[in-house]
Every structure is written in structure tokens, then in C-alpha cells.
Amino acid sequence: MHDLVIRNGSIVDGTGATPRSGCDIGIDGSTITAMGDDVGPGRREIDATGMIVTPGFVDIHTHYDGQATWDGDLAPSTPHGVTTVVMGNCGVGFAPAKPDEHDFLIELMEGVEDIPGAALSEGISWNWETFPDYLDELERGEYAADVAAMIAHGPLRTYVMGRRGADNEPASSDDIAEMAALVAEAMEAGAMGFSTSRTIGHRAMNGEPVPGTFAAEDELFTIGRAMARSGKGVFEVAPAGLAGEDLVAPRKEIDWICRLADDIGRPVTWLMLQNLVEPDEWKQLMELSQEAQDAGHRVVPQVAGRPFGILIGLSTKHRFKDVPSFAPLRDMTFAEQAEAMADPELKARLIAESNAAVEAIRETEPLSYQVVTGYDRQYLLGDPVDYEPTADRSIAALAGANGTDPVEELYERLRERDGRAMIMMPFLGYAHGNGDALHEMLTHPAAVLGLADGGAHANFICDASTPTWMLTHWVRDRTRGPRLAIEDVVRKMTADTAALFGFVDRGVLEVGKRADVNVIDLDRLTLREPHLVADLPAGGTRLLQEAEGYVATIVGGQVTREHDEFTGARPGRLVRG
């Protein structure tokens, strides 16, 4: 008798094969031990009739580096079928770290990834100094998903070079040799690879770029070689010019990335998004990556499943929040704020004060001015959500249809649904007002799916729900262009991501593989609007986003979530490279 049997599901096994109906899965301990028409009885059985059964999703781009030391839930990723997370991305993390560097690393993570610094300060245990020590601390944890970590350039450079490293001064040959030795040590201890950020948009709270942003090739290549000597590991890059701030940089970046992959013989994955400045540039970069792959080098663009931007709402950031007349509303609930804002006199004052504040930054902060006044790119998100909105859902279009001023339209839309309404403003991946570029990226053979940013940008986005969006939108609901086959979407979230990081024991449903499994009612699967909660240490806030339709998520043979609720089981552990 098996420990657990999943019966009569439609098996989408992660390989890209056509789904198989009416297939049973037998699980014993943490392993899939049988698959077929009738695998025999189980001590516990899950009836998956009419549902899809997939491998657990492997999310390769998260930022739970601090959260994992105090929180076993690993939300907001785990409510969306994620059973393995890789953290340490984008050159930021918390190891290695000397005691006097803790505050700087917290400020770095807060600035780059918008994780409340007070929550990190109160929540992180700091029971480590070296990266192997950090992995040992993670190994003591119990989680709702397996965790794996890369060593990041920011803390590494700061640990070796002190203030010089934090200030992005050039590294000496001795500095580089010490960094390489520490990376080799981290790889030996089980790091999944190394990450660095070179985009000027990634800055600490003091406004300074992430340590390593301007690192010379000898530093990057020497570190890459140290990683490669372990015979494993992925080199991850957030490249310069990522958001279109430098049109020359991306081509230079892809040049050294291709040469690095050739040099070290290991995968190099780099973040690729469509920008607004040169919206078709990504095509050329994708083809250069494909050429490198054709030549035998593993240069892997990491693409997103939906646009990247910010969410505007009473619970997040909006143009009225910091003006004087809003001050009496700040301690109210969002529903109370929405009700108070119905007062015509208050409405007039808030609009007038916000107009003056926005006008004041027209010359001094032109980018912020464009964001605040970009009504044609501010879309109603809705509930259920729509991350591929049509132009008529923009604040500008709604104002035109209703004969109102865009500021007034925004004001009234923020009040909807008792102040819970969200407005999406995409910066990347939506230059043409549709998902066609994303579709091309997702279907390109050179690319891998990533960029869900679980645990990061806590008060502005909640892209950790990307797996659910992939299934609801790209597989089932899209009407503005072609959809994706379910077998391809599942493969992108399981076998492909697992293979990139060398997780050979998971990513497909197969006898002998780890029993990480999702049972999903695809017909009922729904992605709800994000909402703000204050559940981080020190009362820190973050956005969470619920899904409805995950019948069961199984990690290592144990049901961690059932009917969209945590069961309390925490079988997830550290996975060492």
C-alpha cells in the first residue's frame, strides 16, 4: 500500500508530452514509486478526476534570502504551486557578512528589492558570517517548499573590500583572488551559483548602485572560473541597460556574457525584458543568445510571464497619499479612506494639492513626473486580475469615455471596491499595449521562464503569482492573441527551470523522481487581486495574492497546501548544489 495515491488525473508530466488522462500516481516517502492505470491502494488518496496533475513548479528567481530565516511559508510563492525556490538573485543577499555589515546589506536589499528594512532587521537571525554558515542556518529551517541559494556579488564584494567594495571602487588582484576563493568555498558548500547586478536601476537606500555594478571583466571572469571549477553552478546577471536607460549597454553586455559562457562552460542566465525606449531591441539580443546556444554555449535569457511595473492603490502608493489634506486619513482603514474621499470638498482639496505637488517635480524629477501623469499606461487591474488589459481600461481612456479629467477619474477608481481596487502601470514588457512580445519571448527556444521576484518588491507588485497567471491566461483565457499549450507552459515552469540549475531529481512526473506534485482544478483556477497585509516582523507590510483552484500541493510526498490553504506540513529543506 502506497503512502499517497493521486487517482484519475490528467497528467501533464513536465516533459512537454501530451497530457495523459486517467493516470494514477503512487507516492511512498518523498518519491514517486508508481504511475499507471491502477497503482494499487494508498493510505491516503486524492481524487483528481477532471483535474490536471503537474510537477511542482520550480521558481528560479526569488528573493527569500532574509525571509527564509524566519518564515517557513515562503509566501507569496507557495500558494501558486511553487515547490522549489532559488534565491540570491540580482547580486543581493545576506552572506557572507561581517557583523558591522548587517545594516548595509539590509539597506541594499531594501533599496533594490523593496523588502521593508525594519522587517529584515527584526526577522533575520544573523547566525552566520560565511556563506557555508548561511547554508547551515537554512538547513536548520523547515519550509513549505525546498530552498536553494546562490552567492551574490553585493555581499561578497562588501565582505572582501569593505567600504571600497560597497562604493564600487575597482577591485585589486588580491581582492579578486579572495572573492574567487570565497565563491569556490560557497560552491563546495552547496551554492547553486553566483549572481551579479549591473543595472543602474538597482540601488541601495542611499542611492548608490549595487556593489559590483561596474565590475571589470577580470573580476567577473575570475569569479566565473572559480564557480565553474566546482563542475556545477549558474552565473546569473541583471545586465546594464535592462530598463532601456542605456541603449548601447545591452549589446556590450551580451557580448561579454557570451564570451563568459564560452570561457567557463557553465550556464549564464541574464534577465531580459522589453523596454519602452527601444521596444524591439530584445529580438536582437534573443537571437544573439540563440547563436551562442547553437555554438554550444549555454547563454539563457530569463524572461517574464507578464508585464513588470507597479500597482497603484490606496493600499500602496498614489499621488494623493503625501499631500497635506490626506494626513487625517492615513490611520483609517482603506475602506474608511474610500468613504471619506467621497466628500466633494475633500476631493477638491486633494486633487488641487496633488496637482501642485506633481507640477513641482516636472523639471526636477522628469521620470517620476512621467510615471504619475502616464494615464494612458495606468490600467484597471480588476478582480479576477487582467495583466493584459486593453486600451479602453486605461485611466486616460476611461476619462475620455466619461468626460472627466484623468486625475478625477483616477481618484474615483481608487475608491472602488471599498478602497481595494488596484491600477497596474507596466514599465517593461508592455510597450505595445499587448502581450505579443511576451508571447514571442515565452515561445522562443533560447529562453527560460523566471523573474517572478517572490519575496521582493513587497509593497508594489506581487509577481510571485506568475505560475497561476501562466495557467489561467496563457493556457486557458487569452483572447488577444495565441495561447500556449498546457504541456509547454508546465514544462517551462518545471523541467526547464529545474534543468537549468541542475535539479535532476525533480521537474517531471516520473517513477524515481521526488514527489513534488500539484493537483489543480484548471477550470476553476482563479487569480485574485493583490491585497496588503501587515504580517512581516516589526509590522512590515507586503502584498499577497490568492489563487483559487489548487486542490493540493505536495512537497516531498507531504501535502503542504490543500484547497488553497496551508496544512501546516513543512517538509521543504535546503537543497545544496
Q: Which of the pair, 248 or 483, is modelled with greater confidence?
A: 483
Separation of alpha carbons 75 and 14, rounded Å: 23
CA torsion 51→55→61→66, rounded to 10°?
100
Separation of alpha carbons 427 and 135, rounded Å: 35
* Closest to 574 measured CA to CA, from 183, 152, 229, 134: 134
> According to the model, what pLDDT value does residue 191 have?
98
The CB-side HSE value for 172 (13 A sphere, CA atoms) comes to 7
Whether the predicted pLDDT of 118 surpasses 80: yes
* Closest to 453 measured CA to CA, from 146, 109, 116, 60: 60
CB 238 within 8 A of CB 225: no
Whether the predicted pLDDT of 78 surpasses 90: yes
Q: What is the pTM of this model?
A: 0.97
> According to the model, what pLDDT value does residue 222 have?
98
* Closest to 451 measured CA to CA, from 434, 459, 463, 462: 463
> According to the model, what pLDDT value does residue 202 have?
85
Assess if CATH 3.40.50.2300 describes domain 2-55+514-566: no
Whether the predicted pLDDT of 261 surpasses 80: yes
Q: Which of the pair, 200 or 395, is modelled with greater confidence?
A: 395
* Closest to 350 measured CA to CA, from 358, 341, 359: 341
Using pLDDT thresholds of 50, 70 and 90, give the confidence band for residue 373.
very high
CA triple 432-319-528, angle to 5 deg: 60
> According to the model, what pLDDT value does residue 211 have?
96
Separation of alpha carbons 422 and 391, rounded Å: 16
List, for residues 534-569, the tens digit of each pLDDT value: 999 999 999 999 999 999 999 999 999 999 999 999
Question: Could you give the 3-state DSSP secondary structure of residue 60?
Answer: coil
Using pLDDT thresholds of 50, 70 and 90, give the confidence band for residue 241.
confident
> According to the model, what pLDDT value does residue 444 have?
96
List, for residues 27-75, the tens digit of each pLDDT value: 999 999 999 999 999 999 999 999 999 999 999 999 999 999 999 999 9
Residue 142, Cβ density class (10 Å: 0-12 exposed, 13-18 middle, ≥19 buried): exposed
> According to the model, what pLDDT value does residue 203 have?
85
Using pLDDT thresholds of 50, 70 and 90, give the confidence band for residue 22.
confident
* Closest to 210 measured CA to CA, from 220, 222, 201, 219: 201
Separation of alpha carbons 28 and 44, rounded Å: 11
- For range 370-378, the mean pLDDT: 95
- For range 86-102, the mean pLDDT: 97
Whether the predicted pLDDT of 251 surpasses 90: no
CB 87 within 8 A of CB 65: yes
Residue 136, Cβ density class (10 Å: 0-12 exposed, 13-18 middle, ≥19 buried): middle
From start to end of 135-202, where are the E strands?
146-149, 151-152, 193-197
> According to the model, what pLDDT value does residue 245 have?
73
CA triple 454-239-502, angle to 5 deg: 55
62: β partners? 454
At position 52, the amino acid (one-letter code) is I
- For range 358-368, the mean pLDDT: 92
What mean pLDDT is reported for the chain? 96
Strands 268-271 and 234-238: parallel
> According to the model, what pLDDT value does residue 206 have?
82
Whether 58-151+182-307+429-500 and 2-55+514-566 are alike in CATH topology: the answer is: no
Assess if CATH 3.40.50.2300 describes domain 58-151+182-307+429-500: no
Side by side, which strands form the sheet with 82-87? 57-59, 82-87, 146-149
Q: Which of the pair, 242 or 306, is modelled with greater confidence?
A: 306
Q: Of all residues in the chain, what percent carry a pLDDT higher than 90?
A: 94
The residue extents of the domains of the chain are 2-55+514-566, 58-151+182-307+429-500, 311-425
Whether the predicted pLDDT of 247 surpasses 70: no
DSSP state letter for 101: G
CB 63 within 8 A of CB 87: yes
- Name the phi and psi angles at 430, rounded to 5: -145, 35
Residue with grid cell 549591473, as numbered in its chain:
198
Separation of alpha carbons 237 and 456, rounded Å: 17
List, for residues 187-214, the tens digit of each pLDDT value: 999 999 999 999 988 888 888 899 999 9
* Closest to 306 measured CA to CA, from 176, 159, 474, 166: 474
Whether the predicted pLDDT of 143 surpasses 70: yes
